[in-house]
């Protein structure tokens, strides 16, 4: 479903990363290296990161409508806003650490452009996926179904946050139990 993203976030290294709060999250560790057809490593990771964080990515949806994709050398934000039934507007931001701005040279500028291209590709994949799901949900033959426990438990968590809010329940979901 997501050929652009799995180049960076392979399913075998992708796991739930969930604490107490109004969000759902995943972590990829280690994040995949660059390839000729996609990747994230054109810019150096922040120098302040631990060795584990320098090779990990964190992905979170903050309720109600902000996606935060934090990688070792940048953060990509996607703010979504429903504007009508079946329609959502998006605004995207690419945030770079100060050391990247200080070292911008032609190679860095090219890397930033490639990073923007990568996130544009991933976002277009997401849009196509969401549109297909919406089409399926409106089909009268669809009567509901089970979610995949391995990959959709975070979706279930987010749906419960939405349901609670619609019912006026002010509950903050607990996180994963300590390991």
Q: Is 122 helix (H, G, I), strand (E, B) or coil?
A: helix
Furthest-apart CA pair in the chain: how many Å?
Answer: 56
In this prediction, residue 36 has a pLDDT band, given cuts at 50, 70 and 90, of low
- What pLDDT does residue 169 have? 96
Which value, in Å, is the radius of gyration of the alpha carbons in the chain? 18
SS3 content of the chain, % helix, strand, coil (to 5): 35, 25, 40
For 44-61, what is each residue's pLDDT tens digit?
A: 788 899 988 988 999 999
User: Integer distance in angstroms from the first to the last C-alpha of the chain?
Assistant: 31
Residue 65 has pLDDT above 80, yes or no: yes
Residue 81 lies in a domain: yes
Query: pTM higher than 0.75, yes or no?
Result: yes
Residue 125 lies in a domain: yes
Query: Where residue 97 sits, what CATH number does that domain have?
Result: 3.90.380.10
Residue 62 lies in a domain: yes
Residue 176 lies in a domain: no
Residue 47 lies in a domain: yes
- What pLDDT does residue 80 have? 95
Residue 179 lies in a domain: no
Domain extent at residue 155: 3-166
For 66-109, what is each residue's pLDDT tens digit?
A: 999 999 889 999 999 999 988 899 999 999 888 776 666 777 78
Residue 63 lies in a domain: yes
> What is the number of domains present in the chain?
1
> Which helix (H) or strand (E) segment is 143 a member of?
none
Residue 175 lies in a domain: no
Residue 38 has pLDDT above 70, yes or no: no
For 104-155, what is each residue's pLDDT tens digit?
A: 677 778 888 888 888 898 899 989 988 998 899 889 999 888 877 767 888 8
């Amino acid at each position: 479903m997501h050929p652009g993203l799995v180049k960076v976030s392979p399913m075998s290294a992708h796991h739930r990363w969930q604490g107490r709060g109004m969000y759902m999250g995943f972590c990829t560790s280690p994040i995949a290296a660059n390839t000729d057809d996609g990747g994230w490593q054109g810019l150096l990771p922040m120098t302040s990161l631990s060795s584990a964080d320098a090779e990990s990515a964190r992905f979170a949806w903050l309720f109600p409508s902000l996606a935060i994709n934090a990688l070792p050398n940048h953060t990509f934000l996607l703010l979504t806003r429903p504007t009508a039934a079946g329609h959502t507007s998006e605004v995207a931001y690419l945030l770079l650490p100060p050391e990247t701005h200080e070292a911008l040279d032609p190679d860095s500028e090219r890397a930033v452009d490639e990073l923007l291209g990568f996130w544009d590709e991933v976002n277009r994949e997401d849009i196509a996926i969401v549109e297909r799901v919406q089409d399926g949900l409106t089909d009268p033959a669809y009567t509901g179904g089970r979610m995949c426990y391995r990959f959709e438990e975070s979706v279930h968590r987010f749906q419960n946050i939405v349901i609670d809010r619609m019912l006026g329940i002010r509950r903050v979901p607990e996180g994963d139990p300590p390991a």
